[in-house]
Structure 1
Amino acid sequence: MKKIHFHLTVVLILLTGISCSKLTENPESALVSEQFYLDQGQAVAAVTGTYRKLYETGQSLYNSLFQIGVEMATDDYEAGPRARNAHVRALSNLTHDASNDRMEQLWKQSYDAINASNLNIVNIEAMTQNQIDATVKQRLINEAKFLRALHYFNLVRWFGPVPLVVRPIETLSTQELYVTKASEDDVYAQIINDLKAASGLPNYKNYSDADKGRATSGAARSLLAKVYLTRADWTNAKLLAKEVIDKEGYALFPSFADVFDVEKKNGVEHIFSAQFKGNSGYQGNSLASRSAPADIPGINGDYADALHAEGGLYKSFVATDKRLPITFTTGMTSPTDGKYYALAKPQFNKYYDETVVGNQSQSAKNTPIIRYAEVLLIFAEAENELNGPTKEARDAINAVRTRAGVENVLDKENKDSFRELVFEERRKELVYEYQRWFDLVRRGANYYITKLKAAGKTNAAARHLHFPTPQRELNLNPKLVQHPDWLAK
């Protein structure tokens, strides 16, 4: 999505979410919304800028914050040798608490992005036919609703009940800033409403090359299928996944390597992705450098994200699985001295960009947020829960396994064994794509604790199915209360 990589020539100053710590009553050089949404170009620029909040440089949501703030608390990942932040190491060891600064950032950045979407929705809705084409107007509103839904979907899964704000926060009044938590049911109802509206977006094939990467009808329906799956609404999860499979025109790439080929970004399998651009003002994918080896001359990796070997992820792949050499590396040849260096243990390799050797912070590889392979697995899981491991369910998971060069699932499986096969397939297919924590916790406390303790993370407890409401937010907002699982006992 080329337009999303451009810096806006006019900056819209957006007030930050729920927290009031960085609100300024009279910010210098601020451009208020009434001065900004004057024509169609400005409206497009405003929504385009909101996409950037998904993956801005530094530790932003889809540019490593997910990994260090969420995925570290699973059986597949741990803080690597160069992850020096005490808060990240606490998450890896499951000793984090409400003072953890990664929790603060998850909360703050999500609400900052939600407020940007709220501003877009309200102000674009108010634009007249003389200011904006009616079709473009509705498309932009639905794009903003899609983004708002995505952020709320993350928040409610991370924190449970959270404040539900669907109007922009534009003043410092306590009435706007001090918001109580809404129930999970109410948050999910808003997410579903937003995604149903966003389902009216164009099909991805109708976008020009310049707009590839924006939210589409397929992205909205795919995310909605995932919402229903998370809620164990198997009927609707199957229905939406089937709509995507039958009507949206997506397909698996012939080769798993194609999914992470820079030349094939926003292709037939990529339903919605975090967009990165290498060698362009530090708009690269930081996961590449965070996982790259640190001790091979000329590689200059950070090795801050590491495989938690005790979890058994690497060993769960059969040796012939075609995903294995794309997902991991066990050694690399130095671009400096030409020697091959074997690694002490496998390291993640999905985002390593051969075109920027020595400067992986400029990796141009996108991070998938949802792709077609996952929709097939959503369908397989939902169909199994409804009707057992039918041929339809097996066909869906086998499409993913066939591409990987793994033997097909046969009709000997029962409902329980097939469920585990789907979860293990998700684990292997979606490594390092911000999915593992969500999958573990939606199975419940016993499942999460069992998996984590089997992997040697013995601090795992039922409270880890949610993250604590950040203490900083509790201090700022007297109407907020801590999640009951994190209250001192």
Structure 2
Amino acid sequence: MKNVRYIYIALLTLFILGCDPDALDITPDGRTNLDDVFQNEQQTEAFLNRVYGSIPKYFYKYQFFAYLAGSSDEAEDSDVGNEPSNISFIWNTGSLTPSYDPLEQNGHDVAVKRYQTFWGGIRDANVFLANVETANIPNTRNRGRFTAEAKLLRAFYYLEMIKKYGPMPIVTEPFNTTTDYTALVRPTFQECVDFIVNECREAIAIPELPIRITEEQERGRFTKAVGHAIISHALIYNASPLWNDSNDTGKWQVAATGSKEAITALTAGNEYELFPDYEEYFYSQSDMNPSPRDRETIFEIKDGSPGTFTIINALPSQPGQFKTGSAPTQELVDSYEMVANGEPAILGYSDEDHLNPIINPASGYDPNNPYEGRDPRFYATVWYNGAQWDNIQGNIHTVETFIGGSDQLIKTPPNRKNTHTGYYLRKFYNPKIQAGQGSPARFKKFRLAEIYLNLAEAENEANGPTTEAYNAINIVRTRAGIPNLPLGLSQDEFRDRVRNERRVELVWEEHRFFDVRRWKILDQTDKLVTGMEIIRNAPGDFTYQRFVVSKRNAWDDKYRIFPIPLGETSIIPDFDLNQNPGW
């Protein structure tokens, strides 16, 4: 917030430094004041683009092309042991402090420093909303639409910030030279969520805001659908154990209602629906036209995936590979159910190191043939020993992660080209694209499947495993090609199944990192990760041995919520008095 205090002093400097590259290529020349900006039609639109400029890129755009997945139990980053500044290595050693956030190491994202960036986005939204009513906007429909978009952007930045740092002061007016920053106080999480939801509902009610984007030149703009997604997301967090210690079922009911309303609005007239093929869905960006093939994506990040994406996620046997990126863990692999009956393959572990899995005897899982008959999303997400990778130098390549194979596991760094877990990431990477070629894959920030799973979770917590809860989760499972959940589950059993469904459906989409925090199970999930070492005895005959990949130190309760940065607590007394627990 140190940055926002200087809004009037530094505004011209900020303009001179330039707006977002896509901001209509309009940058004030340094002689323009704020009033002049909003009396110029083009510069008004450029300022709205500036508000959009604080949206992070997510995906693989963390330090040295890392994913957030490597700082969760989804993955082990291949640069652990190779790159001292690797965010996963530093994060997993427990290095987070009020003065240092490992996830904010210099990355490939202008918004890598989330705290400053989100406050900057809120600042810009406040300035825009304070001026939009009198701004030079000849088209009255644009005035309504611009207002709605700015409100949604402000709500989005608040949501992303409170997920990470907890409740933050609700500021709706531009800061000025008389603002008393020492008077700022932290509200409750509920108050923040109420503000976010109200902002979204006000925006959704503005008729000029469309339900979806249908023209390529408008790609990346917010819509009514984004508003519904933000509401669903915010309410599920508000009802979760982290922010609902008393397990107030009323909060869960509000969350369920919010997601139901979102689904009703989005699916009316088949405006939004799940994409038919889970694997293919992640290979490309959404199509912008009135009758799109992709009706699932609500908002995706515009930033493209050039050749860098393919060389940092390739197999060692692929020509042009630079590194293998983040490798799926055995814990993730164990979470995929059996396709024949929808039963969990692994029920848990009988030891602290996860080396002795509890096999579900009803599942049909064979530990000597562990990759046979799994949830189709497993094959769409993970490269494993024996998988068939199409079109490597014109041939179909059989993935060989066994010791001595062409894609072998190498446990000991330094080594960034081979998996550290026995697996490679397939999701997002079309196997027909060669390493070094650009990819049309984009990061899906909001999509319809998440809202269905939000509804299933909230409905179960509010009312038990009702027909509505079953229907919501089963529509996602049906698209995946996995049987419906069995009837007669208890509320606790359904909770376990919907949490696992989120894990496999939303893997690598930055949900798991925050889900285990809002569920307050970080100490159960993030103490260690394991992998699979495979020895080939003869062609087609393998021995499988689990091993501990790494033990981690970022699982204590205090890691559920990030500390408010030290520079802020030294400026704002209430931040110092009400720093997050453990910090």
Structures share a fold, TM > 0.5? yes
Name the counterpart of 2:232: 225
Name the counterpart of 1:411: 487
| Residue 451 of structure 1, aligned match among 520, 525, 533 | 525
Look up the SS of the partner of 2:581 in the other structure: helix
Deviation at 1:333, TM superposition (A): 7.0
Identical-pair percentage? 23
Alpha-carbon distance between aligned partners in 2 of 1:125 and 1:355, rounded to the nearest angstrom: 51
| 1:341-380 alignment, distance < 5 Å | 341-344=406-409, 345-352=422-429, 357-359=434-436, 362-380=438-456
Name the counterpart of 1:272: 299
Which amino acid in 2 is paired with 1:192?
V
Deviation at 1:178, TM superposition (A): 8.2
| Residue 175 of structure 1, aligned match among 177, 180, 194 | 180
Deviation at 1:426, TM superposition (A): 0.5
| 1:422-433 alignment, distance < 5 Å | 422-433=498-509
Give yes or no for the alignment of 1:313 onto 2:332.
yes
Look up the SS of the partner of 1:154 in the other structure: helix
Which amino acid in 2 is paired with 1:127?
A
Deviation at 1:429, TM superposition (A): 0.3
Name the counterpart of 2:92: 92
Alpha-carbon distance between aligned partners in 2 of 1:354 and 1:406, rounded to the nearest angstrom: 23
Contact 1:328 1:348 in 2 (8 A): yes
Deviation at 1:411, TM superposition (A): 0.9
> After the TM superposition, which of the residue ranges 371-380 and 191-200 deviates more from structure 2?
191-200
Alpha-carbon distance between aligned partners in 2 of 1:241 and 1:98, rounded to the nearest angstrom: 35
Change (3 A) 1:204 1:453: same
| Residue 223 of structure 2, aligned match among 211, 216, 226 | 216
Q: Which runs of 5+ in 2 are unaligned?
A: 17-28, 105-112, 240-250, 289-293, 338-372, 398-405, 410-421, 530-550
Name the counterpart of 1:78: 76
Alpha-carbon distance between aligned partners in 1 of 2:436 and 2:53, rounded to the nearest angstrom: 22
Alpha-carbon distance between aligned partners in 2 of 1:226 and 1:42, rounded to the nearest angstrom: 33
Name the counterpart of 1:9: none
Alpha-carbon distance between aligned partners in 2 of 1:87 and 1:208, rounded to the nearest angstrom: 37
Name the counterpart of 1:465: 560
> After the TM superposition, which of the residue ranges 157-166 and 141-150 deviates more from structure 2?
157-166
Q: How many residues align?
A: 455
Instruction: Please give the per-residue CA displacement for 1:290-336, whole angstroms capped at 9, x wherever unaligned.
Output: 960374453434444333x25x1122224442222332234757856
Deviation at 1:378, TM superposition (A): 1.3
Look up the SS of the partner of 2:407 in the other structure: strand
Contact 2:12 2:33 in 1 (8 A): no
Look up the SS of the partner of 1:483 in the other structure: coil
Q: TM-score, normalised by structure 2?
A: 0.69
| Residue 109 of structure 1, aligned match among 100, 104, 117 | 117
Change (3 A) 1:17 1:141: farther
Change (3 A) 1:454 1:358: closer
Name the counterpart of 1:261: 283
> After the TM superposition, which of the residue ranges 232-241 and 176-185 deviates more from structure 2?
176-185
Name the counterpart of 2:61: 64
Deviation at 1:180, TM superposition (A): 4.4
Look up the SS of the partner of 2:259 in the other structure: helix
Deviation at 1:195, TM superposition (A): 1.4
Name the counterpart of 1:10: none
Which amino acid in 1 is paired with 2:202?
A
Instruction: Please give the per-residue CA displacement for 1:339-398, whole angstroms capped at 9, x wherever unaligned.
Output: 9443532222323356874336x5432211111111111111122122221222112111
Deviation at 1:475, TM superposition (A): 4.9
Alpha-carbon distance between aligned partners in 2 of 1:355 and 1:109, rounded to the nearest angstrom: 37
Alpha-carbon distance between aligned partners in 1 of 2:45 and 2:179, rounded to the nearest angstrom: 31
Change (3 A) 1:52 1:24: closer
Contact 1:169 1:176 in 2 (8 A): no
Deviation at 1:165, TM superposition (A): 2.8
Alpha-carbon distance between aligned partners in 1 of 2:277 and 2:264, rounded to the nearest angstrom: 21
Change (3 A) 1:124 1:18: same
Change (3 A) 1:77 1:117: farther
Deviation at 1:143, TM superposition (A): 0.9
Name the counterpart of 2:48: 47
Deviation at 1:218, TM superposition (A): 1.9
Alpha-carbon distance between aligned partners in 1 of 2:12 and 2:152, rounded to the nearest angstrom: 31
For the pair shown, the structure with the greater C-alpha radius of gyration is: 2
Deviation at 1:275, TM superposition (A): 1.8
Look up the SS of the partner of 1:486 in the other structure: coil
Name the counterpart of 2:157: 151
Which amino acid in 2 is paired with 1:467?
F
Which amino acid in 2 is paired with 1:159?
Y
Look up the SS of the partner of 1:370 in the other structure: strand
Contact 1:449 1:462 in 2 (8 A): yes
Change (3 A) 1:188 1:354: same
> After the TM superposition, which of the residue ranges 221-230 and 238-247 deviates more from structure 2?
238-247
Which amino acid in 2 is paired with 1:300?
Q
Which amino acid in 2 is paired with 1:275?
K
Which amino acid in 1 is paired with 2:279?
A
Alpha-carbon distance between aligned partners in 1 of 2:6 and 2:87, rounded to the nearest angstrom: 23
Change (3 A) 1:137 1:380: same
Contact 1:161 1:182 in 2 (8 A): yes
Alpha-carbon distance between aligned partners in 2 of 1:306 and 1:423, rounded to the nearest angstrom: 21
Which amino acid in 1 is paired with 2:302?
Q
| Residue 186 of structure 1, aligned match among 184, 191, 194 | 191
Deviation at 1:435, TM superposition (A): 0.4
Which structure has greater helix proportion? 1
Change (3 A) 1:302 1:206: closer
Name the counterpart of 1:12: none
Deviation at 1:115, TM superposition (A): 1.9
Alpha-carbon distance between aligned partners in 1 of 2:215 and 2:315, rounded to the nearest angstrom: 40
Deviation at 1:87, TM superposition (A): 5.0
Alpha-carbon distance between aligned partners in 1 of 2:391 and 2:258, rounded to the nearest angstrom: 47
Alpha-carbon distance between aligned partners in 2 of 1:381 and 1:189, rounded to the nearest angstrom: 20
Alpha-carbon distance between aligned partners in 2 of 1:182 and 1:337, rounded to the nearest angstrom: 59
Contact 1:293 1:303 in 2 (8 A): yes
Deviation at 1:409, TM superposition (A): 0.4
| Residue 442 of structure 1, aligned match among 512, 518, 521 | 518
> After the TM superposition, which of the residue ranges 209-218 and 297-306 deviates more from structure 2?
297-306
> After the TM superposition, which of the residue ranges 367-376 and 60-69 deviates more from structure 2?
60-69
Contact 1:297 1:334 in 2 (8 A): no
Instruction: Please give the per-residue CA displacement for 1:196-246, whole angstroms capped at 9, x wherever unaligned.
Output: 112225343574343244222122112202211111122222222222322
Deviation at 1:434, TM superposition (A): 0.9
Contact 1:297 1:335 in 2 (8 A): yes
Change (3 A) 1:69 1:166: farther
Which amino acid in 2 is paired with 1:469?
I
> After the TM superposition, which of the residue ranges 160-169 and 138-147 deviates more from structure 2?
160-169
Look up the SS of the partner of 1:262 in the other structure: coil
Deviation at 1:465, TM superposition (A): 0.8
Deviation at 1:337, TM superposition (A): 9.6
Name the counterpart of 1:35: 36
Q: TM-score, normalised by structure 1?
A: 0.81
Alpha-carbon distance between aligned partners in 2 of 1:20 and 1:326, rounded to the nearest angstrom: 48
Change (3 A) 1:252 1:61: closer
Alpha-carbon distance between aligned partners in 2 of 1:295 and 1:178, rounded to the nearest angstrom: 56
> After the TM superposition, which of the residue ranges 29-38 and 105-114 deviates more from structure 2?
29-38
Deviation at 1:169, TM superposition (A): 3.9
State the superposition RMSD in angstroms.
Answer: 3.5
Name the counterpart of 1:6: none
